Amino acid sequence: MVSRAGSLPRYMLQRLLLVIPMLFILLTLVFLIMRVAPGDPVSATVGGQLREEELERRRAALGFDRPLIVQYLDYLGDVARLDFGTTITDDQPIMNIVKENGGATLTLTVAAFAVALFLGVVFGLIAGRFRDSAGDVVIRLLGIATYAAPVFYTGILVKMLFAGNLGWLPPNRATSGFTESDVDEHTHILLVDALWQGETEAVVDILEHLVLPAATLGIFICGIFVRLIRVNVLQTLQADYVEAARARGVRESKVMRSHAFRNALVPVVTIIGLQVALLLSGAVLTERTFEWPGIGSELVRYITLRDYTAVQGIITMFAVVVVVISILVDIVIAIIDPRVRY
């Protein structure tokens, strides 16, 4: 039962080796669907709008005139260099979109995650502590309802109430016009830049815009945290070591604080990796709802334009991000809890 010291690097290597085939399969799949299946992405995207010579020129520019296997190997090689291709409609490298709009998406997802974690911990602990009480029942029902509500529906309701009827907060976009001109872009994360330059007014403006989208997305994903933490509290309260602590005369409130809460929170880290997928999906929809200038909004815009290479590139980028984050989370867990490495 004694942990083997020094097995962390080996575990990390194992984890990485497992991920490579998975990433390879995902990329192959995306390539097959987005480039092979439609035949010719250029005419599928802008066919009928441009003259044949222009289409031909674009095909050549994007390398679609070469054999598929060459295109495939190129695609894999490009992704390895973090080059996700170029859009057909406006000739933009995907990496530019990531640079320009990634900051907004990052701000939204991080803030939403914080909201979800906060709500999840508070309500999960209450529901678990007071099992089967009225509060527990209400929290569980709300948990089902918030998860049942599509994130864009919650968004619409929230906008109607807080931006429309009450007029407390701005409904759309990440900033008011003046902020964008006041803040110089360095990191492309507006909030960070504004804080860095000490633009108090801009910071307040950005935060005001952030509240509704972050709360909407946070509420959507908090249900899973509530459930998980509630179940963990229930299980921990029945754990043998909790009974042993009670047998030493430890007060119930202290048992709650030092055993149940603490031990119930550890498994939360383990599902963060899974949550990233949900968080990204939710972010795409939330951005569309609040006209948030993130990568998700761009994705939806290119979907409307039927831009094959843009959709392919953005989806590939998301796939890489999800896989990388899941490895990072696993490694962090292994560092926190040595029992994971067995």
Residues 289-318 that bind other proteins (CB under 8 A): 289, 299-300, 303-304, 306, 308, 311, 315, 318
Which of 54-62, 115-123, 185-193, 277-285 is the region at the interface with other proteins (rule: CB under 8 A)?
277-285
How many beta carbons lie within 10 A of that of residue 292, not counting itself?
27
215 interacts with other proteins by CB under 8 A: no
**Coil, helix or strand at residue 313:** helix
Q: Which is nearer to other proteins, 116 or 203 (CB)?
A: 116
218 interacts with other proteins by CB under 8 A: no
How many beta carbons lie within 10 A of that of residue 100, not counting itself?
16
Find the binding residues for other proteins in span 219-248 (CB under 8 A).
Answer: 239-248
Spatial neighbors of 111 by CB under 8 A, at least 6 apart, are 210, 214, 218
Q: Would you say 98 and 317 are in contact if contact means Cβ atoms under 8 Å apart?
A: yes
Among 4, 13, 14, 37, binds other proteins (CB under 8 A): 37
69 interacts with other proteins by CB under 8 A: no
**Shortest distance (Å) from residue 100 CB to other proteins:** 20
DSSP assignment string, 248-280:
TT--HHHIIIIIIIHHHHHHHHHHHHHHHHHHH
Q: Which is nearer to other proteins, 102 or 194 (CB)?
A: 102
Q: Which is nearer to other proteins, 53 or 240 (CB)?
A: 240
271 interacts with other proteins by CB under 8 A: no
- The CA distance from 321 to 311, in Å, is 15
What is the residue whose two structure tokens read 């290479």?
309
261 interacts with other proteins by CB under 8 A: no
Among 3, 14, 133, 200, binds other proteins (CB under 8 A): 3
Nearest one of 211, 191, 228, 215 to 282, comparing CA atoms: 215
Find the binding residues for other proteins in span 140-169 (CB under 8 A).
Answer: 144-145, 147-150, 152-153, 156-157, 159-160, 163-164
How many beta carbons lie within 10 A of that of residue 24, not counting itself?
11
Max Cα distance, the chain (Å): 85
- The CA distance from 192 to 169, in Å, is 21
121 interacts with other proteins by CB under 8 A: no
266 interacts with other proteins by CB under 8 A: yes
Among 280, 293, 309, 313, binds other proteins (CB under 8 A): 280
**Shortest distance (Å) from residue 7 CB to other proteins:** 14
Rg (CA), the chain: 24
Which of 1-9, 58-66, 108-116, 200-208 is the region at the interface with other proteins (rule: CB under 8 A)?
1-9
Among 38, 93, 135, 267, binds other proteins (CB under 8 A): 38
331 interacts with other proteins by CB under 8 A: no
**Shortest distance (Å) from residue 142 CB to other proteins:** 11
- The CA distance from 96 to 105, in Å, is 14
3-state secondary structure string, 208-256?
HHHHHHHHHHHHHHHHHHHHHHHHHHHHHHCCHHHHHHHHCCCCHHHHH
Q: Which is nearer to other proteins, 124 or 191 (CB)?
A: 124
Applying CB under 8 A, the site for other proteins has a residue count of 75
